[in-house]
Amino acid sequence: MKKLLTLSAIAASFAAPAMAAEEVNVYSYRQPFLVEPMFNEFTKETGIKVNVKFAKKGLAEKLQQEGEYSPADVVLTTDISRLAELTDKDVVQAVDSDVINANVPAQYRDKENEWFALTLRTRNVYSSRDRVGKLGAEFNYADLANAEYKGKICTRSGKHPYNVSLVSSMIAHHGEAETKEWLEGVKANLARKPQGNDRAQVKAIKEGLCDVSLGNSYYLGKMVNDKEQKAWADAVYINFPNQETTGTHVNVSGMAMAKHSPNKENALKLMEFLTGDKAQQMYAEVNYEYPVKEGVKRSELVESWGDFKADTISLDDIAGYHSTAIKLLDEVKFDL
């Protein structure tokens, strides 16, 4: 009898996790303040607990190291280059979901359904209100290489994923040789060595160190709502390049299902929830990003920036040029 009880206890110890398996594990590059409200809402609606590990880098490598023993179900990332890295390292799996496919336009998801965009952000050019003014609809990224901007441009590292994606899109549209020439021109026009983040470039415009800079759209929203940085935001206009040609470059934040997801059904439920109206609205309000799902209202501040024509090239195609973009950045010694 004692032996039977012991066996029963052992069986119960193995059964306990299965009974408590209404959970999903997320590896995230996205900051806690942004995603936790959505996860709380998801748990409220489904009863599924969301466990999150936050990181600034190295998630793809972590998934590789953990292999089939990884607890990860869903991976949240901040850029197309990081989404592409997940597929390149074979640490994610294809997801077949009519819900996600209906919510996420084809150009913003992987052709093999291994990653999906969740939010959109544009790669803008910020211009000094005092010294430059608003740039017209005819302004293009290519113009940054023009002589009139000599000593007037600030940017973060050319090898930051946001800039690598922009260079990749230039290669997709104009070819390798023309893009290299453009990079040489932009480098020649820099007011200082590439450094800092996107907000630091706007600060530099405010301080008169440069007149224009590259920056993601949502940073303007963050600066406007930061009392210490609002003066930086007030010193610039946000401009959407290539409005009369290919459209403004659009990057994304996104998600993928981990290759060895132990809670695959719950992972799918979370991924579908994140592309739905409620989560998309929360993304829009909290981080000043553009919802990937059509018809979801932008935040009032983002709406005030006006409509724009977005580049329609597939992000999957852009990702294919990332290694070439890095090669060109090295060849022109952009960051040196």
Distances (CA, A) of 296 to 143, 282, 285: 33, 10, 11
Q: Which residues pair with 238 in a beta bridge?
A: 126
**68 SS3 class:** helix
Give the separation between CA 11 and CA 88, rounded to whole angstroms.
40
Alpha-carbon separation of residue 44 from 28, 47, 61 (angstroms): 20, 6, 32
In the annotated binding site for Fe cation, the residues are 218-219
CA gap 326, 336 in Å, rounded: 14
Summarised one tens digit per residue, pLDDT across range 5-51 is 443 443 343 333 333 459 999 999 988 888 999 999 999 999 999 99
| H-helix or E-strand spanning residue 247 | none
CA distance 267 to 72: 9
The pLDDT of residue 286 is 87
Mean local confidence (pLDDT), 320-328: 95
Say yes or no to pLDDT of 268 above 70.
yes
Residue 217: is its pLDDT beyond 90? Answer: yes
How far is residue 127's CA from residue 133's CA, in Å, rounded to a whole number? 6
- Asked whether residue 295 carries a pLDDT value surpassing 70, the answer given is yes
CA torsion sign, 196 to 200 to 202 to 203?
Answer: negative
Do 110 and 62 touch, CB atoms closer than 8 A?
no
Q: Which amino acid is at 333?
A: K
**What is the 8-class DSSP label of residue 67?**
G
Residue 81's pLDDT band, with cuts at 50, 70 and 90, is confident
Which DSSP string corresponds to 197-229?
A: -HHHHHHHHHTTS-SEEEEETHHHHHHHT-TTT
DSSP single-letter state for residue 154? E
Q: pLDDT tier at 311 (50, 70, 90 boundaries)?
A: very high
Predicted TM-score (pTM) of the model is 0.87
The CB-side HSE value for 163 (13 A sphere, CA atoms) comes to 23
Mean pLDDT of 277-289: 92
Count CA atoms within 13 Å of residue 79 on its CB side.
Answer: 18
Q: Are 248 and 123 in contact (CB under 8 A)?
A: yes
Q: If pLDDT is split at 50, 70 and 90, which confidence band does 78 have?
A: confident
The two three-digit tokens of residue 321, written as one number: 């040029």
pLDDT on residue 21: 56
Question: Is residue 163 within 8 Å of 214, Cβ to Cβ?
Answer: yes
Contact 142, 166 (CB under 8 A): no
Q: List Cα–Cα distances, 322 to 48, 170, 231, 266, in angstroms.
A: 37, 11, 35, 32
Known binding-site residue numbers? 218-219
- To the nearest whole number, what is the mean pLDDT of the chain? 92
Domains and CATH numbers, the chain: 23-120+251-300 (3.40.190.10), 123-249+311-332 (3.40.190.10)
Where helices occur in 68-217 by DSSP H, the ranges are 80-88, 98-103, 161-174, 176-188, 198-206
Task: Say what percent of the chain tops pLDDT 90.
Answer: 86
